[in-house]
Amino acid sequence: MKTKITELFGIQYPIILPGMSWISVPELVAAVCNAGGIGYLATGPLSPARTRESIRRIRELTNKPFAVGATLLMPGAYENALVAIEEKVPVLNISLGKGGELIKQVHAYGGKVISTVTTVEHALAAQNSGADALQATGHEAAAHGSQVTTLVLVPAIVDAVKIPVVAIGGIADGRGMAAAFALGAEGVGMGTRLSMTKESPVHHLSKQKQLELGVEDTIYSNRFDALYCRIMKTPAAEKAVKDGRNLTKGLMASFDIAKSLDLSWTKLATSILSGSKAKSDKPKVPGQQTKSGQKPKNQGSVFRKMMKGPEMGMNLAHMAQAYVSIKKATEEGDLEKGVYLSGQIQGIIHDIPTVAEVINRTVEEFTRIQKDMAEKTA
């Protein structure tokens, strides 16, 4: 296939594995790359040393282009991005931050940058910062998708920018891929679908639960990890949303995070608090309906407020609380204490094939649909 994304990244098919913590590990990233797509290494749970090891492991497993993800809001993310730059990774994916200086450094060695966005305003800011492409994450996606559905978000962003757009959220097969291309996308992301493959490290109990649940069996709320987030609907998830922020649990979880990042807890806490001033260019996050059904005040101002001073510390503690819960569900299959991130497309996924099978049949179905549509309009 030939699209602006395949040409930009030097890949065979415009299919992306986004960077999902504890899921987008070197083995799954490489499997996607070897099947013709491109995978993003998730660095959220990694220290700089482990990020470097993971990048080098990917290079042992594939000679294809790959990407590294950096969620700039999180402690340690900027340092991980610098490691990716030192390793001259082909593509850097930036989310929850502009990263203009990082983009310049990636471009200096000939690399490419794709920024994850959830609003038109955010898309324009990323384009102005020098991003080569955008990844528009719609409402249907697992984790932090927009309030706006992919069907509306993608064409709105395509109309507003001059760089290629990848659609993510609600895409599980060739039908979704064909729809995304009709909206103006040049590529698609398939996080939930590729997480339900034989090569995926997701625990088999969590995979099996996704097969059992339908498209309505997810929850989208800001009471799980402080940002609006889509999670699999289970009793544990419903309880987590009902309980909301628990600073004691968040504090305890922060010790696990510090350990995974190879930081002292004091250094982690200092990093969080000092980041409230250093990261003033954070993007806006999507709006959402309140319990009464009314639209809340501008989410950009809400986001900036939640990332300043003590409020930033409390919200990152909330995220830390979710961090441990997500890890339990993903790695251990513990859905009684853990909470799993899943997109609405879980309800139209009915098997656990290999990565290559997913990509090949997606492309075949996409090609067949395009041919059928051309014949209908001839």
319 with 118: CB under 8 angstroms? no
Cα–Cα nearest to 83, from 108, 50, 52, 111: 52
256 versus 212: the higher-pLDDT residue is 212
Q: C-alpha distances in angstroms, 313 versus 208, 297, 305, 320, 324?
A: 36, 22, 12, 10, 17
Query: Which band of pLDDT confidence, cut at 50, 70 and 90, is reported for residue 269?
Result: low
- Please indicate, yes or no, if residue 342 is contained in any of the structural domains: no
Residue 234 lies in a domain: yes
* Strands 187-189 and 15-17, sheet pairing: parallel
Q: Looking at the domain assignment, is residue 87 inside a domain?
A: yes
pLDDT tens track for 160-177 = 999 999 999 999 999 999
Q: For residues 138 and 183, state if they share a domain.
A: yes
Say if strands 229-232 and 218-221 run parallel, antiparallel, or are unpaired. Answer: antiparallel
Same domain, 325 and 355: no
Q: Is the dihedral of CA 143, 144, 145, 148 positive or negative?
A: positive
> Which residues, other chains included, contact 75 with Cβ-Cβ below 8 Å and sequence gap of 6+?
257, 261, 263, 268, 271, 272, 275, 316
Q: What is the mean pLDDT of residues 354-362?
A: 98
Structural domain count of the chain: 2
pLDDT tens digits, 210-240: 999 999 999 999 989 878 999 999 999 999 9
Residue 222 lies in a domain: yes
The pLDDT tens digits for 280-310 are 333 333 333 433 344 434 334 334 444 455 5
pLDDT tens digit string along 33-46?
Answer: 999 999 999 999 99
pLDDT digits (tens, 9 = 90+) for 180-207: 999 999 999 999 999 999 999 999 999 9
Residue 147 pLDDT level (bands cut at 50, 70, 90): very high
Q: State the pLDDT at residue 89.
A: 98
Q: What is the CATH number of the domain that holds 43?
A: 3.20.20.70
Give the torsion sign (CA, 69, 72, 73, 76): positive
Q: Which domain holds residue 75?
A: 4-200+348-371
Q: Model's pTM, two decimal places?
A: 0.86
154 shares a domain with 257: no
Contact 131, 103 (CB under 8 A): yes
What average pLDDT does the segment 231-255 reach?
A: 79
Q: Are 150 and 139 in contact (CB under 8 A)?
A: yes
**Same domain (yes/no): 62, 189:** yes
Is residue 343, in this structure, part of any structural domain at all?
no
Residues 300 and 160 in one domain: no
Average pLDDT over residues 9-18: 98
How far is 275 from 269, CA to CA, in rounded Å? 10
Residues 191 and 67 in one domain: yes
Non-local CB neighbours of 190 within 8 Å, separated by 6+ positions:
15, 16, 17, 168, 171, 172, 358, 362
Question: According to the model, what pLDDT value does residue 119 have?
Answer: 97
pLDDT band at 317 (very low <50, low <70, confident <90, very high): low
Domain membership flag for residue 218: yes
Distance from chain centroid for Cα 44: 11
Shared-domain flag, residues 138 and 237: no
Q: Are residues 11 and 148 in the same domain?
A: yes
| Cβ partners under 8 Å of residue 108, min gap 6 | none
Q: How confident is the model at residue 330 (pLDDT cuts 50, 70, 90)?
A: very high
Is residue 71 within 8 A of residue 77, CB to CB? The reply is: yes
Residue percentage of the chain with pLDDT more than 70: 80
Rg of the chain, C-alpha, whole Å: 19
Continuous segment of H or E residues that includes residue 255: helix 247-260
Q: What is the pLDDT of residues 48-87, one digit of tens each?
A: 999 999 999 999 999 999 999 999 887 789 999 999 999 9
Q: Give the C-alpha separation, 85 to 274, whole Å.
A: 23
pLDDT at 115: 98
Q: Using the predicted structure, report yes or no on whether residue 253 has a pLDDT greater than 60.
A: no
221/325 same-domain check: yes
Task: Identify whether residues 70 and 166 lie together within a single domain.
Answer: yes
Check whether 329 has a pLDDT greater than 80.
Answer: yes
pLDDT for res 158: 98
Strands (E) located in 169-250? 187-189, 218-221, 229-232
**257 — pLDDT class (breaks 50, 70, 90):** low
339, part of any domain: no
The set of residues, in sequence order, having a beta carbon less than 8 Å from that of 371 and lying 6+ positions away, is none
- The arithmetic mean of pLDDT across residues 237-266, rounded, is 69
Residue 337 lies in a domain: no
199 against 243, higher pLDDT: 199
User: How open is the CA angle 295-296-300, to the nearest 5 degrees?
Assistant: 120
Mean predicted lDDT score pLDDT of the chain = 87
Q: Residues of the chain with pLDDT > 90: what percent?
A: 73
Is there a single domain that holds both residue 170 and residue 31?
Answer: yes
> Are residues 66 and 185 part of one domain?
yes
Catalogue the long-range contacts made by 250-255 (C-beta closer than 8 Å, 24 or more residues apart). 250/314, 250/316, 250/317, 250/318, 250/319, 250/320, 250/321, 251/317, 251/320, 253/317, 253/320, 253/321, 253/323, 253/324, 254/317, 254/320
Q: Please tell me the predicted confidence (pLDDT) of residue 286.
A: 37
